Amino acid sequence: MTQFKSLFVTRLYQATLASKGAVDPAELENSCLVIADDDEAGQEWCEANDFPGYTSYASLTDLPWRFPIFADVVKALDAHVAAFAADAGYDLDGKELKLEDIWINILPEGGIHTAHIHPHSVISGTTYVAMPKDTSAIKFEDPRLAMMMAAPGRAKDVDESLRQFVYVQPNVGDVLLWESWLRHEVPMNMSEEERISVSFNYSWG
Ligand SMILES: [Fe+2]
């Protein structure tokens, strides 16, 4: 008998956001643009920190309370996160996975988000609001890379589950979820148009 098993699997969840709660995509896109335009504190933070484009991360901590469309997004996200947690087999011990932060990202042509993890959270993810043609995929990195210093690289045509870097090109209206320790980056936006997304963290307890 010969058998290959996959152990210590890294899950990535992809679904249509609206499959678990109605969200008007046009209203969401418009709201992101209007909020970015009005948020002078956020614009100043981006400027001071050499952040390409706009993020509301440092300036607006209450999007779902201020804007009903973000309350709709969170309602849908809660259901997606519950599905992810069930698939992951988490024993939540009677405590909930709760939204910790949710923020807008607007990445202009030439902008990048360098590789990072989301500390202090359990599940993180992004829902995609505007994904122009030729804009960046999101790139995920094998969390065991540091342990592979003597291992050969992988063949180009190897199955996706065995690759060390995986690029995912979501559609507008998709939501991606992953565990918050998984390093990811957004390579350079090669589109002339803005790439708009809404990212979030869920914590436990
Ligand atoms: Fe991120």
Domain boundaries, the chain: 12-146+162-204
* 118 CA → ligand 1 middle, Å: 6
What's the CATH superfamily of 12-146+162-204? Answer: q2cbj1_9rhob like domain (2.60.120.620)
* 200 CA → ligand 1 middle, Å: 8
- Model pTM score: 0.96
Residues 6+ apart with CB under 8 A from 7: none
Nearest to 141 by CA among 172, 110, 168: 168
Nearest to 199 by CA among 163, 180, 139, 140: 180
Beta strand 97-107 with 54-55 is antiparallel
First to last CA, the chain: 44
Q: Is the pLDDT of residue 118 over 90?
A: yes
- Greatest alpha-carbon pair distance for the chain in Å reads 65
Percent of the chain at pLDDT above 90? 99
* 94 CA → ligand 1 middle, Å: 28
For the segment 122-137, the average pLDDT, to the nearest whole number, is 97
